[in-house]
Amino acid sequence: MLLFFTWWYNEELKNVLKYFETFFEYLFDLFSVRICFSTLFAVWRRDKVNYKGLPIKDIFQAWTMNMASRLVGAVVKIFTIFAYLLVAISCLVFVIVFLLAWLMFPLVILALIYLGIKNILGL
C-alpha cells in the first residue's frame, strides 16, 4: 500500500504535471503568442503598398493603406492574444480542479472502503 502512495503522489504526480506543462507550451505555440508580440505592429499579411516613384497624392494614399494594414494586424493579434489568455485561464482552472481531485482520490477511496466495512459490520 505504501508503494502505491509513493507512486501516486511522487512519480505519477510528476508525470501529470509534466503533461500539463507540455499542454500549456502547446497552447502558447498554437496561438503563436511570441510571434504576435514580436510583430504586433507589423503589416497584416505583408499587405504593404510600395510608394516609390508615385506622385504626392498617391504616396499619401499608399501610406494610409499601410497604416490601415498595420492597424488591422495589431487588432487581429491583440484578439489572438486575448483568446489565448481566455483559453489558458480556463485550462488553468481545469488543471487546479484536476490536481485537487488527483490528490484527494486515494484518500476518498480509503474513506469509502472504511465506511463500507463499517456499514457491513454494523458499527
Does 64 map to a domain? yes
Counted domains in the chain:
1
Domain assignment present for 105: no
Residue listed under C-alpha cell 497624392: 57
Is residue 25 assigned to a domain? yes
pTM check: above 0.85: no
pLDDT tens per residue across span 13-69: 999 999 999 999 999 999 999 999 988 887 776 667 777 777 888 888 888 888 888
Query: Would residue 53 count as lying in a domain?
Result: yes
Is residue 112, in this structure, part of any structural domain at all?
Answer: no
Determine the average pLDDT of the residues in 102-122: 93
* Domain-located, residue 122: no
Range of the domain at 66: 2-95
Provide DSSP, 2-54.
HHHHHIIIIIHHHHHHHHHHHHHHHHHHHTTHHHHHHTTTSPGGG-----TT-
**Are 39 and 83 contacting, i.e. CB atoms less than 8 angstroms apart?**
no
